[in-house]
Amino acid sequence: MRPRMRALRSFVVPALLASALLSACTNNNTPSDSKSSTPASTPASTSTSPSSSGPPGDYTYENAGVIASVKYAPDKSTLTVTNHSGAEIPAPGIYMLDARDGHRIAGTVDNSVPVQTGTSKDFNVTFAQQVDEANVGLMILLIGHANYGAFVPPTAK
């Protein structure tokens, strides 16, 4: 019975985490109806956004000594990668998911080169499709061809 529970747990926990992350990408605001005298229900507060270590408006990523931020603009963005990992990291890349339908939008990192340990590099980024910031679902950092994970979106202030 133990291996079955372990298998179930290894599926359920990531599924719950994924659903929590995806639900954070939707707008749950409902329009108020001025004709209604009593609300049907009060939505629970879902303010679980992590604090960003970068400037407001930047997407941030930090893991295993690699710190990256994206200053997003629909026509031209800037990716800054700082390497404190203790080893050279391969050339960075990026892509995003459109929040409306989840399709992948390729990003092009101009003059992408490996980042030496203890250094920081800025790269210009353009995306195959221009998307308003409100429709950016996730931005994903690539190191070489490996998916390193999602950036934390900017927090509203």
d(CA 87, CA 120): 13
Each residue's pLDDT tens digit, 122-157: 999 999 998 888 899 999 999 998 999 999 988 755
Task: Determine the Cα–Cα distance for residues 124 and 145; give it in Å rounded to an integer.
Answer: 18
Q: What is the pLDDT of residue 156?
A: 57
What's the confidence (pLDDT) of residue 106?
Answer: 96
β-sheet with 92-98: strand ranges across: 58-63, 66-71, 77-83, 120-127, 104-109, 92-98, 136-143, 146-150
Give the pLDDT band (50/70/90) at residue 14: low
DSSP state at residue 135 = G
Q: What is the second-level CATH architecture of the domain 58-150?
A: Sandwich (2.60)
* 94-119 pLDDT, tens digit each: 999 999 999 999 999 999 999 999 99
pLDDT at 47 over 60: no
**Domain limits, the chain:** 58-150
Q: Name the residue with higher pLDDT: 33 or 5.
A: 5
Residue 10, pLDDT score: 59
Q: Stretch 29-57: mean pLDDT, rounded?
A: 41
Portion of the chain with pLDDT greater than 90, in percent = 54
